[in-house]
Structure 1
Amino acid sequence: MDNTIPIFKSWVPEWMIKIVLFILLLPSIVLFFLPITNIQAAAGYYGSEPADMQFSVALFYAGYVGFYSLERRFFNFLAAREYFILFTFLLMLTSWICYHTHEVYIFFPIRFIQGLLFASTVNLSLSLMFTRLKSERAREISFSVFFGLLICALPFNNIVTADLIDNFNYNIVYKGALFSYLPSLIFLPLTMNRIRLNIRFPLYKLDWQSFAIYSIGLALIGYILIFGQEYYWFGDPRIRYSMLGLIGLTALFIIRQRAMKRPYIDLRIFRSRSFKAGLLILFIMYICRFVSGITNGYFTGLLGFDPMHVSYINAFNLFGLISGTIIAACLIIQKKNVRLIWSIGFILLLIFHLIMFYHSDVQADEYKYFIPLYIQGFGVGIIMVPTIIYTISSVAVSRGTSAAAISLAIRYLGFCSSIALINYFELFGKSKHYNAFQDHLSVLDYPVVHHMQTQANILLSKGLHAGLSTKATDKLLISTLNKQDQLRFAMDYYELIAWLIVGILLLISLSPYLGKTIIRLRSRRLSPA
């Protein structure tokens, strides 16, 4: 690109460009995790199961991950302004379809297409920012800002959409997203010059075969991990055939990449020990991050908070994410070693899980969870940005795109794996605790008899007919039992993740080369995932 030609017209102030780029990214980030911000409302609107809404997020993620490497060809072929108009118009079209459709099987492919377009949005927006940043410090701050936005998507969506979904139909959110693209669609074409950010490469020899294999494999990973426990894993032919297809596609993809002169993803990046270490940390962090699903389920299922109340409580988690990202950026700029950064983040996450394990109860006040939610957000925020920069910068600059693509795939795998773990503990763990509680519940146990008699007397004092009090007492006992099951499975999950964090902390402390390793963003042309 000819740096003498400005991207934006001379009369456009710098602060206005940053605001417009932020407005451009925001609707797409909101659409990312939208179906699981209020999963019951989304499932009810489409007449489906909650797992279907989780899979719709996985499809968005799979489209983003799979298209990331191929998207760069389109990015280099089209001028920035025309490219921006094209994908923004397509995003508005997909939002319009989501607004009008009630069929989940129409919704699924549209979500995948939105993931493809999200990759275009991210690449263009960050490229516009990176080409204007000359110093390494400015680039690291921009990295932190973008990934801070990304990890804040879920709690931010809860806050923004809770009131809308509660007072209007669920699809009102897509209508809002449709109109939110208009400001940037009007402003950027008027202010951008007709230039290219890179040398134009014709759209011939597009490796669409690798894209198709890679994307289908990613979708199969999401399907297996999200629906596996519900279908009893390999006892169901759908999971068996999906797994066989995934193995075949993985083998075909690896063989194809090794044989190609210009591979879709350069597998030589896995020769770097630091790259593999970064992927492991990133995977564990993403499993810890999505423990928020358990926490929100605890707030709604046991404490009885409505979705709006839960969204307001999660504001503390949002503040923690923002604070952690800011501190992480400061630590990177100060060239602190990566062992210190990772240790601080995982210790905070360990504290959060221990607090939730020992302070979970069927009755509690919400203010007891303000500080733990802040700690969890702070820990995730302080780990994520340094880990991504560390992972991408640990390979040669020429392989940075492949490293970014694989780090993005690992984050997708962490997201799907966290759902699989939660589903396992919820479906299998709750049934295990339910059977264990039943072994101790009988008419011969005095505490049970005393509890049921107390509940019956309360119901009679409230005016319930004597003939119905016994049935009502039985239902109350079952309800209490279900709450205890949910509480126990949540505690089991917190305990598992706590032990996982202890293991990763030991691994970090025992790795000698991490003691002097610092994080440095080496390339100005680096495009983050």
Structure 2
Amino acid sequence: MDKNIYFKDWIHNWDWGMRAALFLILMFSILQFSLFSLTQNYVVSYFGAQPEDVTFSIQVTYISLLFFLPIQIRFLNYFNTRKYLITVLLCGIILNLVFMKTTDIHVFILLRFLQGIIISLMAGAMLTLIFTRLHDQKKQAVGYSVFYGTLLGSSVVAGAPSAWVIDNMDWRMIYYIVIVMQVISIVIVFFIFTKERQHRQVPLYQIDWKAYVVMASGMLCVAYFMVYGPKQYWFQDKSITYCFMLMVFLLFMFVYRQVKSKRPIIHFSIFKSKKFITGLFLLAFFYGLKDTINLVYSYISTVTQWANYQYIELALVNISGMALAMYAASQLVMRKKHSIHFFLVTGFGFMLAFNLWMYFIISTDLAFSDLVIPIFLQGAASGMLFVPIATYILSHVPVNTGLSGSLVAGHVRFFTTLNSFAGYYTLQLFYNQHYKEQFLAHLTPYDMAYTNANNATVQAFISKGYNAQDATIAARASIIKQVGIQSQLLTSQTIFLIVAAVLATIIAVVLIAPFVKRVLNWPKLAFKTH
């Protein structure tokens, strides 16, 4: 593709300048995706909402991002690039101004859906334009490294200034920071893109809007079902039951429409490739198992109660490990010096080390230094796995299927993330109750360990000036609190061990798979030689 159909003459031959400008706009756009991931407690308290509401709003944003990702390429090729991007950024600014006046959680969720569209239009355009600046053999590895790395790193980049804003002023000032970034993006767009359209205009007709609406509606049902289902005890709640029924119906409608359509959004022929399906399973395992890091972040907020800046620093350690491993993995993928097995064993091995490390060290008094190495390893695991798996998936998709492979991979990420959220939530409910019951069985006057601990706690409160009755009540509350903390620690420890066992199984399967394949193919090879 002619590199000068979008950009002004002064910059189109300056590759690094162009890449830096496009990456800056990409980062500013994606920052909005995870804007509330590290500040959700303040959002919950401001709206008087539940933590699930904030989780649902994040998933809604991702749904709209996926919803518009295939369409944004059509828009980019239809409108004048500079006017189009500036218009999208202005809409984003208006949206952030509306956010600042919003006090209702339901309106907030609706606005997050619209914000996902803005992110998709900008981030998708930037990713497409970055691809035009790369050699063909580097497009997949580098392009997806940039996009995924920016997506994960955005939580820290957004979290650092957000934490400072929250500690020093009204948390809604975050929106002003985002608006400033969007204004900077408008200035960059104005100076690097040509005034007139120099690319062939691709018409906007033949877009199957009905299929897109059905797809987005089905994904919203899935998100609602998986986020709110565990808390409502699944099918015991009528709204969850109706949501599930609607979800199944919409899925059937989408598949039926795709089969009958001449220009489907997803070409189901891609599922004929066994390696493509294998890649999807690997991607699902990766996204499902990596989320045990949320147990560490939950531990920080509920047990140690660290300050915001320490939380950000630990997340930065994780992102550093991911960035270094992702760079190494992308370089190795481009040079084609290692098979997919090398990356899987290394990446899942790092993840196994993280889970076992946390299993052995988790306690009530962990320091920041205790978590640096395991958190770094978890980031390195993500960086080592994503690019090779994504490249493996897309390399086994026919070219004539367009974005089908990327879209299916995006949906796998979406479903797996929701499944891990619901799965870990359910596991925590089960094991928390299990361990609490074990502890409570010992909270009787006949248990000497409990009696001695209770008496010591009562005396400690009396020495602080409490009377005997208040000291007894305070001691009881303190012990119950400790039971809750110990139950959560044991629950986290159990989940780390379960995930470690699954990871060890995956590594073993990856290691023996080539040998099994050779054994199964040996009779065929022997027959051919004769």
TM interval, shorter chain, is: over 0.9
Cα distance in 2 for partners of 1:4, 1:75 equals 15
Q: Which residue of 2 aligns with 1:213?
A: 214
CA distance in 1: counterparts of 2:50 and 2:415, whole angstroms: 22
Choose 303-312 or 479-488, whichever is displaced more.
Answer: 303-312
Residue 70 of structure 1, CA deviation = 2.8
User: Do the aligned residues in 1 keep the contact of 2:29 with 2:123 (CA within 8 Å)?
Assistant: no
Query: How many angstroms apart in 2 are the aligned matches of 1:465 and 1:20?
Result: 67
Shift in Å at residue 196 of structure 1? 5.4
Matched, 1:378 2:398: no
Distance across 1 between alignment mates of 2:128 and 2:197:
11
Q: Could you tell me the TM-score, scaled by structure 1's length? A: 0.93
Q: What are the equivalent positions in structure 2 for 1:257-336 lying under 5 Å apart?
A: 257-335=258-336, 336=338
The CA distance in 2 between the partners of 1:34 and 1:380, in whole Å, is: 21
1:224-239 counterparts in 2 under 5 A?
A: 224-239=225-240
TM superposition shift of 1:237: 0.7
Q: Which amino acid aligns with 1:479?
A: K
The superposition leaves residues 66-95 of structure 1 with CA deviations (integer Å, 9 ceiling, x where unpaired) of: 222233322322122222112212222222
Residue 483 of structure 1 deviates from its aligned partner by 0.3
The 3-state SS of whatever aligns with 1:443 is coil
Q: C-alpha offsets along residues 3-42 of structure 1, whole Å, 9 cap, x if unaligned? A: 2744222223443322322221223322212222122112
Distance 1:54 1:370 in 2: 26
Contact 2:19 2:133 (C-alpha < 8 Å) held by counterparts: no
Letter matched to residue 433 of structure 1: Y
Indicate if the aligned counterparts of 1:76 and 1:197 stay in contact, CA closer than 8 A: no
Change (3 A) 1:4 1:407: closer
Residue identity (%): 25
Q: In structure 2, which of residues 490, 507, 517 is the aligned counterpart of residue 488 of structure 1?
A: 490
- Asked if 1 retains the 8 angstrom alpha-carbon contact of 2:218 and 2:250, the reply is yes
User: How far did residue 139 of structure 1 move?
Assistant: 5.8
Pairing 1:53-68 to 2, within 5 Å after superposition = 53-68=54-69
Hey, what does 2:26 align to over in structure 1?
Answer: 25
- How far apart are 1:321 and its partner, in Å? 1.0
Aligned pairs for 1:415-494 (under 5 A) are 415-494=417-496
Segment of structure 1 superposing worse, 305-314 or 267-276:
305-314
Q: Is the 8 A contact 2:326 2:384 kept in 1?
A: yes
Q: Which residue of structure 2 lines up, in the alignment, with residue 110 of structure 1?
A: 111
Answer yes or no: is the 8 Å Cα contact 1:339–1:514 preserved in 2: no
Q: Deviations over 1:276-330 (max 9, x none)?
A: 1111111111123322221111122122323332222222112111111111112
Relative distance call for 1:501 and 1:136 in structure 2 (3 A) is same
1:522 maps to what in 2?
none
Equivalent residue letter for 1:337: S
Post-superposition shift, 1:465? 2.7
Are the aligned partners of 2:78 and 2:201 in contact in 1 as well (CA < 8 Å)?
yes
Q: What is the 5 A alignment of 1:120-135?
A: 120-135=121-136
* Unpaired segments ≥5 residues, structure 1: 517-529
1:74-153 paired onto structure 2 within 5 Å? 74-137=75-138, 140-153=141-154
Distance across 2 between alignment mates of 1:475 and 1:214: 49
SS in 1 for 2:49: coil
- Secondary structure of 2:10's match? coil
The equivalent residue for 1:10 is: 9
The amino acid across from 1:412 in the alignment is F
Match of 1:525 in 2: none
Measure, in 2, the Cα distance between the counterparts of 1:20 and 1:418.
36
Change (3 A) 1:100 1:257: same
| CA distance in 2 between partners of 1:400 and 1:505 (Å) | 32
Q: Report what 1:173 is aligned to.
A: 174
Shift of 1:513: 9.5
Distance in 2 between residues matched to 1:465 and 1:26, nearest whole Å: 58
Helix, strand or coil for the counterpart of 1:35?
A: coil
Q: CA RMSD in A?
A: 2.0
The separation in 1 between residues aligned to 2:424 and 2:122, in whole angstroms, is 31
Deviates further, 494-503 or 252-261: 494-503
1:237-285 CA-to-partner distances (Å, cap 9, x unmatched) read 1111111011111111111101111101111111111111111111111
- The answer for the alignment partner of 1:408 in structure 2 is 410
Sort the Cα spacing of 1:5 and 1:157 in 2 relative to 1 into closer, same or farther, 3 A.
Answer: closer
| d(CA) in 1 for partners of 2:126, 2:111 | 22
Determine if contact 1:393/1:400 at 8 Å carries over to the other structure.
Answer: no
Aligned-partner Cα distance in 2 for 1:129–1:350: 34
Counterpart check, 1:338 vs 2:340:
yes
Look up the SS of the partner of 1:37 in the other structure: coil
Distance 1:4 1:88, change over 3 A: closer
What is the deviation of 1:366?
Answer: 2.0
Partner amino acid, structure 2, of 1:8: F
Give me the whole-angstrom Cα distance separating, in 1, the residues matched to 2:395 and 2:201: 26
Give 1:173's aligned amino acid: I
Matched, 1:395 2:394: no
Counterpart amino acid of residue 455 in structure 1: T
Structure 2: distance between partners of 1:361 and 1:33:
29
CA–CA distance in structure 1, aligned partners of residues 498 and 391 of structure 2: 28
Bigger RCO (CA 8 Å, 6+ sep): 1
Return the letter of the residue paired with 1:130: F
**Contact 1:331/1:341 (8 A) holds in 2:** no
- CA distance in 1 between counterparts of 2:149 and 2:515 reads 28
Question: Which position in structure 2 is the counterpart of 1:524?
Answer: none
Shift of 1:367: 0.8
